[in-house]
Structure 1
Amino acid sequence: MNPTHPDHLTTPAIEATGLRKAYGDKLVLDGIDLRVPRGTVFSLLGPNGAGKTTTVQILSTLIRADAGTARVTGHDLAADPRSVRAAIGVTGQFSAVDNLITGEENMALMADLHHLDRAEGRRVIAGLLERFDLVDAAGKPASSYSGGMRRRLDIAMTLIGSPEVIFLDEPTTGLDPRSRHAVWQIVRELVADGVTVFLTTQYLEEADQLADRIAVLNGGRIVAEGTPDELKRLVPGGHVRLRFLDPAELARAAQVLGVGQRDDEALTLQVPGDGSVHTLRALLDALDNASVSVDSLTVHTPDLDDVFFAVTGRPEHEKVRTR
C-alpha cells in the first residue's frame, strides 16, 4: 500500500481476527482478536506460556496460525507474507547479534540482506550507529558489548530496512535499569517517527510507561484490553494509609472517619479512596476540623500489577504465602 495514500493512515498497522494455534493437544491461542493503530505502542502481557511469543511469531510470518485471519500494514499474512516481511522488523527475546564480528559488520550484514547498495548501506549504518550511541564501539567485537549495548545494536539492525512495524518480544529482559530506560527512550523516539511498536514484556512498569493500549493474554484468550488508565479502573482497592504517633489519635481518627481498616500495632488507618486531590482534601479537612494529628500518609491506587493478578490469578506460591 502506498504510504501517501489516505487509506494508509486509517488502515490499522495490525488487525487480526480469531487467531488460533495449538501444538498437539496444547491449545496456545484460542481465537484472539487484535487491532493496533499506526504510530502507537501496543503491549501484550501475560504469564509465561500464555502465548505472547506465539502471537509475535504468527504476526511476523515465522509460523502459521491454525485458524483466523490477520493483516499487517494492510497485507494479508496468508496471501502476501512477502509484503508483510518487507514492512516489519523483529527483535526477539534472544539477540540476533553475531558476537564473532564487530557491531559495524553486523549492521553491514543486515544492509546486505536488505539489498542496499554500498553507498546507501554506509549512509544508513552511520546514521543508526550515531543514533544508538554505538559509534565508538562500532569497530569492536560484539562479544565485548554490555547487555544494553548489544540490545541497542540488535534494535539498530532491525531498523536497517526502515520497517513500518517493529515487534519487540521482551526486549529488556535481563537488562539493568539504566539500559532498560535507554531502550524505553528508543521506543518513544521510534513511535514519534511514526513507527508502530508491538511489545511483549514481563515488566508491567514497562507496559505502563510505553503502551498506548494493553491487552492481557491468559489461557489463550484476551481477558482484558484498554489503555493503562482504563485497565487500572477495572480494579477496586484504592486507599489512603494514615500513620499516627499516638494511639489516642488513631482511635479518634477512626471515630471521626467511621470507615477504614485499623492496625493498632502499626498505628495506621487504611481508608478507601481514589487518591484524587478532592478525596485527600476532604479527608484531611475532616481530621483537621476534629483536631486529629496525622504523622504521615501514603496513597495507593491500583496499578498494572493489581490488574494483571486480578485477571490472570496469582501464582500458587503467592496464594499460599498470603493465606
Structure 2
Amino acid sequence: MGPLTETGLDARIALTRGTLRVDVTLAAARGEVVGILGPNGGGKTSAVLALAGALPLEQGHVVVSGATWERAGRARRLPEQRSVGLMLADPLLFPHLRAVDNVAYGPRSRGMAARTARARARLELERVGLGDLAHARPGELSSGQAARVALARALAVDPELLLLDEPLSALDPETRARTRTDLARRLHDYAGVTVLVTHDPLDALTLADRLVFVEAGAVTQVGTPGQVLREPRTPYVATVVGLNLYAAQADSHELLALDGGCPLVVGTSPLGPVWAAISPHAVVLHRGPPEGSARNAWPMRVTEVTLRGQSARVSLTGPLELIAEVTLASVAALGIQVGSDLWASVKATEVGTYPR
C-alpha cells in the first residue's frame, strides 16, 4: 500500500540515555515504511523504545493516527495501552506453542475469544505464506519461517504502529534474501506505519519509503532511498550507500580543495562549500603512476581488503581515504594485500558534486 494522506506518525523523541542526548523527529503517513539507520550507540533503539513506551520522553511528543500517546510532562500511555506490534532479531517464539498459538497469543492477551484469535492467527500465517505450518512448533521451523511467524504475531493485534528492530539480522544471507522479499510483500498490504531499524543498506533501500539517519542522537539526513543514493550528506550515509564522500571547497568550477587540503579535479561543480562523491567502481588501481587520461592520481597504501562475491573492496590511505571496488582478477594481477603500495586514479568526470 502506498502512502496515504492521513498522518500516521508525528513524533519528537527527546531524552537522555547515559551520556547520549537523543533528539529525533519522525513523521510518516499511514502505509509508509520509515527506515532508521545509524552507527551503534547513535540513538536508533532509544527512539524505538520511546515509541513503544518503554522509555519516557523528557521533551517532545508521540502522536499516532491523530491520537496523542505521549506529550512530555502531560499525557502518557503505558506500553500496554499503545497499539504497537514489535518484531526483533530474535523471534522470541514460545517453544511449547504451535505457530498458530504463538500468533494467537497477542489477540488472546487483549481479550479476544480463543476461537476468534486462532482464526485470526491462521489468516496472518496465510498472509506470510505459512498457512501449511500453522501446527508446527518453533523447533520445527527454519530461521526464516520463525521470523515470518514473529511478523504474523506482531500484525495479529492490528497495530497502528509496527516496530521492526533489526528483524533480519540473525538470518544467513540466503534466508535473509527470501525473508526480505516476504516481508516487503506483507508490508505492502499493511495500512499502519512501520518503523524499521536496520544496519543493512539493502534492507533499508528495498523496504523503506523514507530513510532517517541518526548519528550521535541527532537526525543527520532524511530522504527517499533515491535521494539518499544521489546525495549523501555525511560520511556515514555515504558508507551505507557505498560511496566515497568528502567535504570540499570549490573556488572554481573544475578544482576542489578537500577539507585537509588535498586538491581534486572535477568535470564541473557549483561554487562554495560542496560535497564530492566518488563511486568505488570509479577508482582504478595501478602498480605505479598511471599514464592514462585520469586527472586525479595519488600514491596509496592498502589498509583492508574485503571480498564480496566476485569483487573486492579495497580500503586505501594516502592524501585522502579512499575505497575502491575491483575484480578478483585485479586483486591477483596487482598482488593487492594489506600493506601494498599502489596508485589510485579517478577521472574528473567520475566525481559528483553538490552543495553542502
Tell whether 2:33 aligns with 1:37: no
Aligned to 2:152: 156
Q: Which residue of 1 aligns with 2:15?
A: 21
Give the number of equivalent residue pairs. 261
Q: 1:168-187 maps to which residues of 2 (within 5 A)?
A: 168-187=164-183
Higher share in strand: 2
How much does 1:57 deviate?
A: 1.0
TM-score normalised over the length of structure 2: 0.63
RMSD of aligned Cα (Å): 3.3
Choose from 55, 58, 74 the match for 2:47.
Answer: 55
Q: Distance in 1 between matches of 2:162 and 2:29?
A: 13
Name 1:103's counterpart in structure 2: 99
Aligned mate of 1:200, from 197, 204, 218: 197
More divergent stretch after superposition (99-108 vs 77-86): 77-86
Q: Tell me whether 1:261 sits opposite 2:297 in the alignment.
A: yes
- Tell me the distance in 2 between the aligned counterparts of 1:176 and 1:227: 27
The answer to whether the Cα contact below 8 Å between 1:187 and 1:197 also exists between their aligned partners in 2 is no
Deviations 1:128-169 (A, max 9, x none): 222223334332321332221211111111111122321101
Preserved contact between residue 37 and residue 199 of structure 2 (Cα < 8 Å): yes
Matched residue SS, 1:10: coil
Kept after mapping to 1: 8 A contact 2:165/2:197: yes
State the match for 2:277 in structure 1: 237
Q: Deviations over 1:157-196 (max 9, x none)?
A: 1111122321101101110123222332233223422332
Report if aligned partners of 1:14, 1:71 keep a CA contact under 8 Å in 2. yes
Is 1:130 paired with 2:126?
A: yes
Residues 59 and 72, structure 1, Cα contact 8 Å, conserved in 2 = no
Deviations 1:242-263 (A, max 9, x none): 699xx9xx73x42xx6x24389
Letter in 2 for 1:209: T
Work out which of the residue numbers 61, 74, 77 in structure 1 matches 2:69: 77
SS in 1 for 2:277: coil
Structure number with greater CO (CA < 8 Å, separation at least 6) is 1
Counterpart AA for 1:165: L
Distance 1:188 1:274 in 2: 33
Q: Which runs of 5+ in 1 are unaligned?
A: 1-7, 276-300, 303-323
Cα pair distance change 1:129/1:9, threshold 3 Å: closer
Q: 1:272 to 1:117 in 2, by over 3 A?
A: farther
Residue number in structure 2 paired with 1:225: 222
Identity %: 23
Compared with structure 1, are the counterparts of its residues 150 and 271 closer, same or farther at alpha carbon in structure 2 (3 Å cutoff)? Answer: same
Residue 110 of structure 1, CA deviation: 2.3
Letter in structure 1 aligned against 2:7 = P
- TM-score (norm. length: structure 1): 0.69
The answer to whether structure 1 residue 68 and structure 2 residue 67 are counterparts is: no
**Higher share in helix:** 1
CA contact (8 A) 2:107 2:156 kept: yes
Distance in 2 of aligned mates of 1:82 and 1:75: 14
Correspondence for 2:249:
none
